[in-house]
Amino acid sequence: MFDAPAPSLMFRSLAAASALTLLSSCADAPAQKAASAPQPPVSQPASSPVATSAQSAQAPMVMPAVSFSAWRDAFRREALSSGIDPNTFDRAFAGITPDPSVISADRSQPEFTRPVWEYLEGAISPYRVRKGQALMIEHAATLDAIEQRFGVDREPLVAIWGMESSFGQFMGDKSVIRSLATLAYEGRRPAFAHAQLLAALQILQHGDIQPARMLGSWAGAMGQTQFIPTTYNSHAVDFDGDGRRNIWSSSADALASAAHYLQASGWRKGQPAALQVQLPQGFDYAQADADIRRPVAQWQALGVQTGTQAASLSGESASLLLPAGYRGPAFLVLDNFRAILKYNNSSSYALAVSLLGERFDGRGELTASWPRDERPLSRSERVELQESLTAAGYSPGAPDGIIGANTRKAIRGYQQRLGWPADGYPNLELLMQLREGR
């Protein structure tokens, strides 16, 4: 969506945390687990626009020279010096060995991605809509109390619940301690994993969960709302009053914890996250930039048609989002969209949460069509695009296959040179033009 370097969190002030991300901050596809906020589980292909490929590029697996037991002993001394009880550490690490599947997942770089419309169709499936509607009725009293305490609307909250774990059905089955210990030991990007591993030990020491039940994704995301340990420690709450913050088996705790996170991220109750809009002919598509924020009334003055939902939002700050370029649907995204991005720094994810929440109320149907005749560029094609833009005199940044803010700015400049709509959207036609040296 917007762009800048790297995942959820989305990774802005969480730059260090973005260590585990393969995609751009505010990139189009959800990241693998932001450094401080939750993300969609890898166990749900329908919820992730990243399609696995037998040809996924992987870095060679070279393990550190130091043995795992030597690393563990050094880490034990560090943990104990930070206040972890020896018994807590020894119980947590009993039988723990490196997990090769975690290293493989951390280093894989999928070659192909799904188009945003396919991602949204999977995320907003009829089953997920019906299930969410039923759960909103079932948990109405809890959601009433959460809204009153945290000021976060139930619809996007339940949508996040559905996106993160399919309403608690898929939370990951890997030992969080083993996954994080593997990531901290193998040494490619240890700082994030070290911090999360210490935080996980603090959770165990607090008594909220036992080591055998602290399960999650390969990247250490846990529970029904897929919190990483540091986010858990700062935002998890005991909402059902049993004395434990249990985001694994207590839906009340999980939902309230997510609400607490959104509240801290600036959620504004009663306001939409995104508005479907129509753009006038001759519109300057270069305005679709996350860094350009205007009051809704100013967008309207530029000819952007917002519909009746924007009647009370004229003074609210909004940016224009074109998730599939100028040929696809257009949205004005507001503060609540940015709050969702802090949960998972992906515009596709934030848009899915927004639309899914609206679908619970019978809204959220798109009025514009997607450019289904286009396919997204593969990772190697995105790298080629960046290299070609550099050769053409633009500055897209490092050729890493991540379409971030700098790459989109470079694309806009090249599109303007060609006399094309400067929407900053990478596609095959653009790459072909670069290949021809125009």
What is the token pair recorded at 327?
């040929």
- Ordered per-residue pLDDT tens for the chain, 438 residues: 333 333 333 322 333 333 333 333 344 555 544 434 444 333 333 333 333 333 344 455 566 889 999 999 999 999 999 999 999 999 999 999 999 999 999 988 789 889 999 999 999 999 999 999 999 999 999 999 999 999 999 999 999 999 999 999 999 999 999 999 999 999 677 899 999 999 999 999 999 999 999 999 999 999 999 999 999 999 999 999 999 999 999 999 999 999 999 999 999 999 999 999 999 999 999 999 999 999 999 999 999 999 888 889 999 999 999 999 999 999 999 999 999 999 999 999 999 999 999 999 999 999 999 999 999 999 999 999 999 999 999 999 999 999 988 999 999 999 999 999 999 999 999 999 999 986
- Report the pLDDT value the prediction gives residue 64, as an integer from 0 to 100: 82
Q: Work out the mean pLDDT of the chain and round it to a whole number.
A: 88
Sole residue written with tokens 């329908």: 46
Beta bridge partners of 116: none
Q: Given the DSSP bridges, would you call strands 57-58 and 317-321 parallel, antiparallel or unpaired?
A: unpaired
281 Cβ contact partners less than 8 Å away, ≥ 6 residues apart: none
Q: Is the entire prediction scored with pTM above 0.85?
A: yes
* Neighbouring-strand partners of residue 415: none
Kindly list the structural domains of the chain, giving each domain's residue range(s) and its CATH number in brackets, ordered by start.
Answer: 68-103+171-264 (1.10.8.350), 379-435 (no CATH)
Q: Tell me the percentage of the chain whose pLDDT exceeds 70.
A: 85
Return the amino acid letter for 92. A
Segments of 148-279 assigned E as strands = 174-175, 215-216, 274-277
Q: Does residue 103 contact residue 132 with C-beta atoms inside 8 Å? A: no
The rounded distance, in Å, linking the Cα atoms of 296 and 302 is 10
Evaluate the CA torsion angle 206, 218, 165, 163 in order and state its sign.
positive
Encoded tokens for 411: 């694309």
**For strand 274-277 and strand 330-333, is the pairing parallel, antiparallel, or unpaired?**
antiparallel
318 three-state secondary structure: strand
pLDDT at 368: 95
Q: Which of 135, 212, 142 is nearest to 166 (CA)?
A: 135
Whole-number Å distance between alpha carbons of 67 and 284: 58
**Is the CB of residue 354 less than 8 Å from the CB of residue 277?**
no
Q: What are the pLDDT digits (tens) for 385-404?
A: 999 999 999 999 999 999 98
CB 209 within 8 Å of CB 248: yes
pLDDT tens profile 46-81: 333 333 333 344 455 566 889 999 999 999 999 999
Helix, strand, coil proportions of the chain in percent (round to 5)? 45, 10, 45
What tokens appear for 303 in the block?
């000819």
- List the one residue out of 134, 114, 159, 388 whose CA is nearest residue 255: 159
Looking at the DSSP assignment, which residues form a beta bridge with residue 294? 318
Measured over the CA atoms of residue 169, residue 171, residue 174 and residue 176, the dihedral's sign is negative
